[in-house]
Structure 1
C-alpha cells in the first residue's frame, strides 16, 4: 500500500508510532483471547474438575511455548539466571489460575474479572514494604476507594455474596505478589523463558494431580474445548508480553480493562446472564481507582526521568 510517509528507517517518530500501534493491537488481542479462555473454563466446569481444566490450560500453554520458541532457542529456552525466582513466580501464577478457575464454577466471569482487577491496587500497597517505594496520600486514597469497590461487588453477608468471591481476592493478591517479584528481581532472562517456565511448572503440578481427578471427555467437542483453552492461555500470555515490550504501561493498562466488557459480552451470549447494577458500580469504582493509580505512577516516573536528565546535563 502506497503512503506519503517517509521510510520508517529514516523516521524515528514513525517507528515509535508503529510500535505503539502494534502494542495496542497485541493488547486488543489479549483482551479478546483471555476472557474467551475464562468463559471456556466456566463452561467446562459444569462437567469437569478444576484440576482437569487447569491441566489443559497449562499443558496447552506449554506446547504453544515449545512450538513457538524452541526452534529459535533450543534447550537454552529453559536456562535462567535466577531459576528460583522463575519457579516462585510460576507457582504464584499457578495459584492464581487455580483459584480463579475454581471461583468461576460458582460466580459469573464478569464478576470475578471485576474483583480480580483489584490486583494493581494491591501492588501499590505492597510496593511500600517490599520495594521501598513512596506512595502519596492521593494514591493511598485511590487504594482505599478501589477496595470499597470490591466490597460493593462482594457485599459481605448479603444474599448476593458468595464465598467464591473471596477466592478471587486471593487470585488478585497472588498476582500482585507475582508482579512485585517481577519488579524486584527483574533479570536479563527473556520473556520467552518466563512464559515457558510458567507453563512448565503449571503443567508439572497438575500432571501429578490429574490421575486422581480426571474424567474422559464425553465427546469430540469437549476435547476440542480443552485444547482450545490451553491454546488461548498460551496465546493470551504471549500477546500481553509482546504488547508491554512495545508500548508503555500507561498506554496499555487502560485497554486491559476491556476484558470486563469482553467477559460480559461472552457471558451474555453463552449463558444469557448480565451483572447486576451493584456489580457494575463496584467494577466502575475499581477501574477508576486503577486508572488513577496508573496515571499517578506514570507522572512520578516521568518526573524521575526529567530529574535524572537534569542531573546528567549538569555534569
Structure 2
C-alpha cells in the first residue's frame, strides 16, 4: 500500500497541550475501567473498550483507502502478532486494574520505554551502549522499589501489571519493525480487525448483564477511547514524537491524583520514589536516543558523504 504524502506544519506548544489532554482522557478511561472490573470480567470490559478502538481505527483507515487495499501487508505475520499482543496486553492491564492501585500500576507501566530499548536489540538489530544499559538497569531498580516486600501485595494483579508493560513494549518494537514494510493505515487496519475479533470471541463467554449506569460508563469509555486516540494523532501531526513523548510521564501524577480522589487509594512515599526513578531513567533513555538520531542525521547531511 503506497504512502500518502502529508505536509506537516509543526506547532510544538499545541502538540504538547494536546498530549497532556490525551493523558487526562486516558487516565479517566483507566479509572472507569478500574471501577467496572470490580463487578464485570476484564474480558467483557476489554471487549467493549476495544469496540471503540476498532471503530476509531477503521474509520481512519477507510478515509485513506479501501479496506482490502489497507490489509495488503508486506509482513502479515508480524502484523498479526502485533495486533494479538495489543489485545492480550489490554486484557492483562484490565486484570491488573482489579487489585493494583492506579498510581502504582501507572508507575509500573512506565517501564515500557526501557523494555523497548532492550527488545529493540534482537528484533530491530539496534545497538545499545553502556550508557543506555545503565539507565535501563536503574529504571528496573525503581520498579523493584515499588514492588518491594511489604509494598504491593504479591498477587496475580502485580504479575499482570508487569506482563502488560512487557507486552506493550513488544508491541511498540514490532510496530517499528512493520513500519519498514507497511503504512500506518495498514497497521491500524490489522489492529482494529484482529483486536475486534479476538476481544469479542473471548469476551462473549464472560458476558454479564449490565445496569444502565454501567452501560453509560462503558459508552463514556468508548467515546474517550476515540477522543484520546484522535487527539494523539493530531498531536503527532504537529510535532515529532520525540518532542511530545516525555510529556507522557504526566500520566503518573495524574494516575496518583485519580487514585486518591476516586478510589481513596494513596501511593506510599517509597513507591513514589520508585516511580520517580523510572521516569528519570526513561527520560535519560529518550534523550540519548534523540541525541543519537540527531548525530546520525547530521552525519548523513554532511556535504560529500555518500
Q: TM over 0.5, yes or no?
A: yes
- The answer to whether 1:88 aligns with 2:76 is no
Taking the aligned partners of 1:200 and 1:273, their CA distance within structure 2 comes to 36
Specify the alignment match of 2:32 in structure 1: 40
Offset, 1:73 = 3.5
Answering whether residue 106 of structure 2 is matched by residue 102 of structure 1, we say no
Flag structure 1 segments of 5+ consecutive residues without an equivalent: 1-11
Q: For residue 198 of structure 1, report the CA deviation from its aligned partner.
A: 1.8
1:153 aligns with 2:146: yes
Q: How does 1:255-266 map to 2 (within 5 A)?
A: 255-266=247-258
Distance 2:286 2:192 in 1: 28
**1:169 aligned to 2:162?**
yes
Q: Distance in 2 between matches of 1:74 and 1:184?
A: 23
Contact 2:71 2:189 in 1 (8 A): no
| Match in the other structure for 1:52 | 44
Task: Answer yes or no: is the 8 Å Cα contact 1:70–1:77 preserved in 2.
Answer: no
Q: Calculate the TM-score normalised by the size of structure 2.
A: 0.89
TM-score, scaled relative to structure 1: 0.86
Aligned alpha-carbon RMSD (Å): 2.2
Give the total of aligned pairs: 298
Q: Secondary structure at the match of 2:15?
A: helix
Query: In structure 1, what is the equivalent of residue 110 of structure 2?
Result: 117
1:231 aligns with 2:223: yes
Contact 1:123 1:179 in 2 (8 A): yes
Unaligned runs of 5+ in 2: 1-6
Residues 71, 186 of structure 2: 8 Å contact kept: yes
Q: Deviations over 1:263-289 (max 9, x none)?
A: 222222211222111111010000000
Higher Cα Rg, which structure: 1
Quote the offset at 1:300 in angstroms: 0.8
In the TM superposition, residue 67 of structure 1 has moved relative to its aligned partner by: 4.5
Give how far 1:302 is off. 0.6
Residue 65 of structure 1 corresponds to 57
* Pick aligned residue for 1:308 from 291, 300, 303: 300
What is the CA–CA distance in structure 1 between the aligned matches of 2:210 and 2:60, rounded to whole Å?
27
Take 1:36 and 1:262, find their aligned partners in 2: how far apart are those partners? 9
**Which of 173, 178, 193 is the equivalent residue of 1:180?**
173
